Amino acid sequence: MVFSSLTFIFYFLPIFLFVYFLTPRRWKNSCLLAGSLLFYSFGVKDHPLYAALLLFSVFVNYRLGIRLGRRRKSGCRKGWLAAGIFYNLSWLVLFKYAGFISENINLLLAETGCSFRLSSPAFILPIGISFYTFQAISYLTDVYRKDICFEPSLINFGMYICMFPQLIAGPIVTYASVRKQISARRHSLLHLENGLREFTIGLGLKVLLANQIGGLWNDVKAIGYESISTPLAWLGLTAFSMQIYFDFYGYSLMAKGLGEILGFKLPNNFEHPYMALSMTEFWRKWHITLGNWFRDYLYIPLGGNRKKPARTFFNLFSVWLLTGFWHGASWNFLLWGLLLFVLISVEKLALLRFLHRFPLAGHAYMALAIPLTWMVFALPELSDISVYVQRLFPFLARNTQLTYFNGDFLKYGRLYSGSLTAGLVFITALPRNIYNHYKKDVITAVILLLLFWACIYRIRAGADDPFLYFRF
């Protein structure tokens, strides 16, 4: 059950909101916790133990938070923090990385001629485990730093971890940012209206843009990377770049809208990143909550940029290596993280000032850098990356018979021209600025209503609606 499903829109959400708003204020957190667990249980119905794992993690982190908050000795508190981080990361490593690690150890053993082999576990990744793991670690760390007091209520803490708007796909919400709203938050018709508006806009970005544009990338994969022309290779990467943006941005807006309906002000997760002039700026505007998490809980504790240049670049290397690995247990994600590290390092050394001084050069640079980095992200096999690079840059290929241009570009360009054009408009700040200016007009309400039913029509028609966050 995802936000862009009819089950969620017409069954779960209205029934839950009806019960939630009838529930007395002192029981609302309990109601939200129960609804969130029901929502998550539906998503893991084939693996009910994953719901039990979530509940167990809630209880363990709740108790660890109390231990950290009540202990006074520094050494004891460090021990409990280390235990908490180890506990949370252990589940993530087991489900997400154990297979990858064992497979690569077996490859090394085979290279050395050793007959011994490790068994390779094939776990189904629990939905949202990367997100709620990071939330739990941030909570324990903030309690340890005494930035916040520990949460004394198990219900309130469980609600914070399990809150369904952000449980399975983010944004990554820190306890510090919502602690006041957990105990006391406002509910009003204005919050309901604004939340439904944001939800509808996010739904439109997901269903009418991401899903439609994503069809082009699916067509490119179906054709085969070795069979596409150079123009279609670039067009396919453009499509994937837009698909992942509108999908994630749309989902984040839906989460923010649902949060506002429930009285929470969830953080913005995107700020028009494709308008950035550098990769450094891009990653300050893309998946903001993840970037902030790595900054606050890894980069700064490592020393940030307060040390010598060599140490600063080591800190950057650590952050981007782990950022890549966080996205998935595959070599292409590690390569993607290292590529971002190289680009951002070069920008810091010499390029950044130039790019921001000459905006046209910055936009041209990003028009090349964005799709190339997403190519590494999108292709799990290193051999596919090699083939695709040769399609993008045929002069690098050994095969002189590569097709530089054929009719495939014109065929798919015409087929997806409307969606791609709309995507180019909506990656800018213009649509949001127009919406903010005319937000309260009747015509805007009518347009949003039509947008909602257009989305419902597309969902009802059985249009492809992938959920991109199973790997996270």
Half-sphere exposure of 183 (CA within 13 A, CB side): 8
Rounded to an integer, the average pLDDT of 436-460 is 94
The better pLDDT of the pair 58, 350 is held by 58
Contact indicator for 255, 166 with CB cutoff of 8 Å: yes
Is residue 342 over pLDDT 80? yes
Is residue 86 over pLDDT 70? yes
The token pair at 146 is: 């005494």
pLDDT range class, residue 178, cuts 50, 70, 90: very high
Is residue 469 over pLDDT 80? no
Contact indicator for 206, 254 with CB cutoff of 8 Å: yes
Domains of the chain: which residue ranges? 29-185, 191-460
Rounded to an integer, the average pLDDT of 393-408 is 69
pLDDT at site 399? 62
The token pair at 278 is: 């550098």
Active-site residue flag, 287:
no
pLDDT range class, residue 404, cuts 50, 70, 90: low
431/437 Cα distance (integer angstroms): 10
The better pLDDT of the pair 254, 110 is held by 254
Rounded to an integer, the average pLDDT of 20-35 is 95
The separation between CA 24 and the C-alpha centre of its own chain, rounded to angstroms, equals 34
Cis peptide before 171 (omega within 30 of 0): yes
Cα distances from 368 to residues 150, 164, 465, in angstroms, run 46, 37, 28
HEC string for 3-64: CCCHHHHHHHHHHHHHHHHHCCHHHHHHHHHHHHHHHHHHHCCCCCHHHHHHHHHHHHHHHH
| Cα angle 364, 370, 374; round to 5 | 155
Catalytic residue among 47, 272, 287, 327: 327
Is residue 317 over pLDDT 70? yes
Secondary structure (3-state) at 418? helix
pLDDT at site 401? 57
Is residue 309 over pLDDT 90? no
- Closest alpha carbon to 156 in 26, 17, 252: 26
Q: What is the mean pLDDT of the chain?
A: 92
pLDDT at site 471? 65
